[in-house]
């Protein structure tokens, strides 16, 4: 009965992961709507647009991004950097860098950490009157890192050319701001691909980029190993029908397949010490059922597989002789001389955790 329950649980997990990729590959083309008042016209008396160009030209991307932030602050649209702003600075047809404004992110980052329905914006900054541009955006849903790799886990059980910039003599800068409405299916895990042209008829892109939107993850999995030196035995029925004792080996290496729950959400591409603390639970990879529960911790090394330590306990279901039966007794198939005994073990060891 216990074995059947575990089989049902793992079969359900396997079925869920198997069908997830089919549902996760949905794509949509989404059209952001202009925010009220857009496009905005600002008087760039400090030549912030020209400064941004020069900083980009000299490779000082973050200084350039800071000039763009200051330019945005002169408009009637105020940004909240808890949201995500895909910014295109249209200096000329050969230089229109695209980047991200978001707290904690560099301008060149293409990584998003999960979206709300209204937390993604498109910002187009240019000297072109009315800030006209053609924008195409494709959202592609994808599985989370945990979902992508879970099926493998379950199988363990049985770098812009630059041309001269010709700014207008006047100080006007136009800023177009559009706001996306992101469907729920694409909010946590999706790829966001954008193409920007000066018009629909244009043959060349002003800018193009793909942003990786992968939400922070609380779940991971791993292989936990522990050595036990406890003297222990199993009662079994031998080939001749007699009750016999089978000693368990000393220094028995127990290997467990575990699923981890992280107390602090993890950026799977840049984990930290704080996010490495986790609760683990799973089953021993063996013919016998032995569930384990424990706590794990490690120092991230930026590798596909992290080495962590853990401490916890496991329960092993074993046979114990019923009253009236002795070692050496011959029993028939319709007689069960055993009753269930639950053995508790303290487990300390090493976990190979991924992703």
CB distance 202 to 139 below 8 Å:
no
Cβ count near 59 (within 10 Å): 8
Task: Please report which confidence band the pLDDT of residue 60 belongs to, taking 50, 70 and 90 as the band edges.
Answer: very high
> Left if phi > 0, otherwise alpha if psi is -120 to 50, otherwise beta: which for 268?
alpha
Report pLDDT digits (tens) over 83-110: 999 999 999 888 999 999 999 899 999 9
Which pLDDT score, from 0 to 100, does residue 18 have?
A: 52
Report pLDDT digits (tens) over 174-210: 999 999 999 999 999 999 999 999 888 888 899 999 9
For the chain, the first-to-last Cα distance in angstroms comes to 33
What is the four-CA torsion angle of 200, 47, 173, 122, rounded to 10 degrees?
60
User: β-pairing, 189-197 with 84-90?
Assistant: unpaired
b/e per residue 19-35 (b: at least 16 CB within 10 A): ebeeebeeeeeeebeeb
Dihedral sign (CA 52, 38, 121, 96): negative
Report pLDDT digits (tens) over 205-255: 999 999 999 999 898 989 999 876 566 677 778 877 787 887 766 667 889
Residue 189 three-state SS: strand
CB distance 318 to 301 below 8 Å:
no
Residue 319 three-state SS: strand
Mean pLDDT of 257-263: 93
How many alpha carbons fall within 13 Å on the CB side of residue 51? 16
User: β-pairing, 84-90 with 233-237?
Assistant: unpaired
Least confident of 44-53, 207-216, 287-296: 287-296
Return the closest-CA partner of residue 34 out of 157, 132, 173. Answer: 132
Residue 305 three-state SS: coil
Residue 202 three-state SS: coil
User: β-pairing, 98-101 with 84-90?
Assistant: antiparallel
User: In whole numbers, what is the pLDDT of the chain averaged over residues?
Assistant: 84
Query: Cis peptide before 135, with omega less than 30 degrees from 0?
Result: no
Task: Please report which confidence band the pLDDT of residue 3 belongs to, taking 50, 70 and 90 as the band edges.
Answer: very low
Which structure tokens are listed for 180? Answer: 């996306």
In the chain, pLDDT over 90 holds for what percent of residues?
A: 49
Which pLDDT score, from 0 to 100, does residue 274 have?
A: 77
Checking if the pLDDT of 165 tops 50, the result is no
pTM score, whole prediction? 0.73
User: β-pairing, 120-126 with 172-179?
Assistant: antiparallel
Which structure tokens are listed for 105? Answer: 């992110």
What ranges do the domains of the chain cover? Answer: 26-148+160-214, 217-354
In the chain, pLDDT over 70 holds for what percent of residues?
A: 86
b/e per residue 299-337 (b: at least 16 CB within 10 A): ebeeeeebebebebebebebbeeeeebeeeeeeeeeeeb
Report pLDDT digits (tens) over 306-325: 889 999 999 888 778 888 78
Checking if the pLDDT of 22 tops 50, the result is no
Report pLDDT digits (tens) over 281-291: 999 887 778 89
Residue with tokens 């978001």: 102
């Amino acid at each position: 009965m216990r074995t059947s329950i575990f089989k049902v649980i793992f079969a359900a997990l396997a079925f869920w992961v198997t069908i997830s990729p089919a549902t996760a590959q949905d794509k949509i083309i989404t059209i952001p709507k202009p925010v009220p008042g857009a496009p905005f016209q600002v008087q760039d008396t400090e030549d912030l647009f020209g400064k941004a160009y020069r900083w980009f030209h000299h490779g000082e991307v973050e200084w350039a991004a800071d000039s763009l932030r200051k330019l945005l602050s002169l408009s009637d649209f105020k940004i909240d950097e808890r949201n995500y702003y895909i910014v295109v600075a249209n200096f000329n047809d050969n230089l229109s860098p695209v980047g991200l404004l978001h707290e904690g992110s560099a301008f060149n980052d293409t990584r998003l950490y999960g979206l709300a329905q209204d937390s993604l914006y498109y910002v187009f900054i240019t000297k072109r009157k009315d800030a006209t541009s053609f924008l195409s955006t494709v959202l592609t849903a994808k599985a989370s890192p945990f979902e992508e790799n879970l099926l493998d886990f379950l199988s363990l059980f049985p770098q812009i050319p630059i041309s001269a910039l010709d700014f207008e003599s006047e100080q006007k800068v136009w800023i177009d701001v559009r706001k996306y409405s992101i469907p729920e299916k694409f909010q946590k895990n999706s790829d966001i691909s954008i193409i920007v042209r000066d018009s629909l008829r244009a043959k060349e892109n002003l800018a193009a980029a793909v942003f990786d939107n992968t939400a922070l993850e609380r779940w991971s999995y791993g292989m936990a190993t522990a050595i036990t030196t406890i003297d222990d035995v199993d009662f079994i029925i031998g080939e001749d029908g007699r009750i016999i004792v089978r000693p368990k080996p000393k220094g028995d290496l127990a290997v467990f397949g575990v699923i981890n729950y992280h107390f602090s959400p993890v950026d799977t591409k840049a984990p930290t010490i704080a996010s490495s603390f986790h609760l683990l639970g799973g089953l021993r990879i063996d013919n016998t059922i032995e569930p384990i529960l424990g706590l794990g911790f490690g120092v991230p090394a930026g590798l596909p597989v992290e080495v962590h330590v853990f401490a916890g306990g496991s329960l092993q279901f074993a046979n114990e002789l019923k009253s009236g039966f002795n070692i050496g007794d011959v029993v028939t198939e319709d007689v069960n001389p055993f009753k269930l005994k639950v053995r508790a073990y303290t487990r300390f060891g090493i976990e190979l955790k991924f992703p």
